[in-house]
Amino acid sequence: MGFVWHIAVRYFRSTRADAHIRALSTLTAGGLAVGTAALVLALAALAGFQNLLLEDLTRHTPALQIEFGGGSAGEGAAATESLRDLAELAAATNGVAGVQELLYARGWLADEDRPFAVEVLGYEKTPPPWIPVPGEAISGLIVPVSAALRMGLAVGDTVRVVSPRPGLTPVGPQPRTRMLPVDLIYRSGRAEEADDPVLVPLEQASALFAGGDRRLDLTLAPGADPEEIGDFLRRGIDPAVATVTTWREANRALLFVLRLEKGLVFSAVALIVAVASFALLAALSMVLSSKRAEVGVLAAMGAPPARLQRVFLLLGALLSVGGASLGGAAGAGLAAFLDRYRVISTPSDVYVVDYVPFLVRGTDVLVVLVVTVLFTAAAAVIGARKASLLHPVEAMRSART
């Protein structure tokens, strides 16, 4: 054991002897334990929620989408870059596993009494993955449970789909309508079920809602990078005709809020660690004050200031490493326990899950430990610097006064 370790370890043991220093060092270790545990726990809770949210988001958002500006594709300047051309271009791109054409519009479902406003989604081959409906395209309607309940619809009923775009007839403009059977009723499981769309086969939807918004949803091969493929597609598409958006870009505001939330929670909880670091500085100052004469003697015997500084840096590390490690381990263990046994429940009609999920990420724990080390190191450096600046004669004189 070298000189620095020898002295630091002995001083660390001596902190048990003095009641004040013992109280302060216990407060330091306890504060750091609570602080790191709270940080790990808070980040695990956030990560758990955000992980579920992102999983939900990726289920409901295509990896890449190509949206056509100002109405349907193929009109005006888009003549040479028709929807089909773009779909073929996208399908031929390396890493793209599938292309699905969708049409978004607002319309009505009407029974004999009155119309009900609904979102209409025209789909090309199969319903989008976020609609929990198995199998191939169906010739009839797929109606959300919210609309079915409002209208009293059941599978097999026939309902009139009405478009806001009128068609010209010999007797003047008339609403475009079509009677279609209800083939399926679905429940999306989303919090905003009232906004779930009525799914209509694309062919029918195009006939009714010719002016609806067209979009191509791209499914990527496993491991393909949406950003890279998006950049590639942007180079081949006139931005006046269509825009390429990755799922991250489409949810930029939400992702920013998630990052902001994480940063704010981290900053707030990190204050506990900061306060514990002040306690560490106080503990080191008290140790230095009680060992002032001894530090002077060590300096008189030839211990260089830099080594005396290292003694107190190491002492600071010894005083803090136990608390921080214990807190980190306790926080991670508690988070794993709370997640495994779903101890904390939440109202399932408000949140996407009925319990508080925890996800301990190695990077989060590492960040917590790095921040704790930085805080405590700053406190230890201040304390250690005081030790290195002691004048041996003045320090030894303090033993007699």
Q: Which residues bind other proteins (CB under 8 A)?
A: 1-3, 6, 10-11, 13-14, 293-294, 297-307, 392-393, 396, 399-400
Q: Which is nearer to other proteins, 244 or 286 (CB)?
A: 286
Residue type, position 130, single letter? W
If one counts every other C-beta atom within 10 angstroms of the C-beta of residue 102, the result is: 22
CB atoms within 10 A of CB 328: 21
Who contacts 291 (Cβ-Cβ below 8 Å, separation ≥6)? 11, 14
What is the spatial distance between Cα 123 and Cα 141, in angstroms, rounded to a whole number?
11
By the 8 A CB rule, do 35 and 320 touch? no
Smallest distance from the beta carbon of 19 to other proteins, in angstroms? 16
CB of 315 to other proteins, least distance (A): 12
CA distance 127 to 144: 13
How far is Cα 171 from Cα 178, in angstroms, rounded to an integer?
Answer: 18
Of the two residues 293 and 379, which places its CB atom closer to other proteins in the complex? 293
Q: Which residue has the tokens 């109405």?
A: 71
In angstroms, the CA 359 to CA 258 distance is 15
The answer to whether 352 and 43 are in contact (CB under 8 A) is no
Q: Cβ of residue 283: shortest distance to other proteins, in angstroms?
A: 16
Cβ 296 to other proteins shortest distance, Å: 8
Q: CA-based angle 100:123:163, to the nearest 5? A: 140
Q: Which two tokens stand for residue 129?
A: 């993955």
The nearer residue to other proteins, 3 or 256, going by C-beta atoms, is 3
Alpha helices in 215-349 (DSSP H): 226-236, 247-250, 252-290, 292-300, 305-340
Complex with other proteins: residue 215 or 292, whichever CB lies closer: 292
Shortest reach from residue 312's CB to other proteins, in Å: 14
The SS3 assignment for 338 reads: helix
Tokens 């180079």 correspond to 235
> Which among 227, 233, 204 has a CA at the least distance from the CA of 89?
233
CB of 27 to other proteins, least distance (A): 22
Residue whose CB is less far from other proteins, 16 or 106: 16
Nearer to other proteins, 11 or 68 (CB): 11
Q: Please report how close the Cβ of residue 292 comes to other proteins at its closest, in angstroms.
A: 12
Closest approach of other proteins to the CB of residue 26, in Å = 19
Q: Which two tokens stand for residue 400?
A: 């007699």
Q: Which C-beta is closer to other proteins: that of 263 or that of 304?
A: 304
How many H-runs (helices) and E-runs (strands) does the chain carry?
12, 9
Q: Closer CB to other proteins, residue 71 or residue 392?
A: 392
